[in-house]
Amino acid sequence: MNKLLVICQLIMLTGCMNVSIQSNVKPDDKPEFKRILVVSNLQHMVPTYLARFQTAFPSGYQVCTVSNSSIDFDNPEEAIDKKRQACQSEVSLSIDFNRNYTSGYGKYITSNNELLLVMTNLATNKPFWKAIVTTGGLNEVPPREIVQQLIKDGIIVGAVPLEKSYQSDY
């Protein structure tokens, strides 16, 4: 019985994710674009995480992804440039780990991760959108939440599509 209770509590805790996003836009540098390259510099992520970005953006946007892990043999800049050229991406959205911190005390202590998200115009190499995302201890921010913030900030237009499953061929 105790095992069942613990399992139910774990499911409830992992089912909800507390995410806070603070963002800033530089409207003068925002280009018109339809092709996005999502670059993850996160060291620990679920293999299907980046693939979820491909179904999170509104229709009309083409999304490619690339991961820069410390265990990859490719030079990170070369891998990004190769993917950018193959996809003809106009902007990039980079996801970087910023810091980890704890708050509270005793049994109320919580661990939080901060991620830095930056959207850059690849033609000028100037960033035009930045966000700090605070999560309840997880490295991965649901792509749909990032896309919702981009829509809210006027970076992209449209609506977040209904949840779709994605199966990667790689």
pLDDT band at 66 (very low <50, low <70, confident <90, very high): very high
- Calculate the average pLDDT of the chain: 81
pLDDT band at 122 (very low <50, low <70, confident <90, very high): very high
> Per DSSP, which regions of the chain are E strands?
19-25, 35-40, 62-67, 91-103, 110-121, 126-135
Other Cβ atoms less than 10 A from the Cβ of 156: the count is: 21
Of all residues in the chain, the percent with pLDDT exceeding 70 is 77
Q: Minimal CA–CA distance to 23: which of 168, 150, 112, 162?
A: 150
Architecture of domain 18-152: 2-Layer Sandwich (3.30)
pLDDT of residue 11: 36
pLDDT tens sequence across 81-108: 999 999 999 999 999 886 566 677 788 8
Q: Which whole-number Å values give the CA distances from 159 to 1, 27, 85, 116, in the listed order?
A: 44, 20, 27, 23
The phi and psi torsions of 74 (rounded to 5 degrees) equal: -70, 150
How do strand 19-25 and strand 126-135 relate by DSSP bridges?
A: antiparallel
Instruction: Return d(Cα 141, Cα 133) in angstroms, integer.
Output: 8
pLDDT of residue 7: 37
In this predicted structure, the answer to whether residue 9 has a pLDDT above a threshold of 90 is no
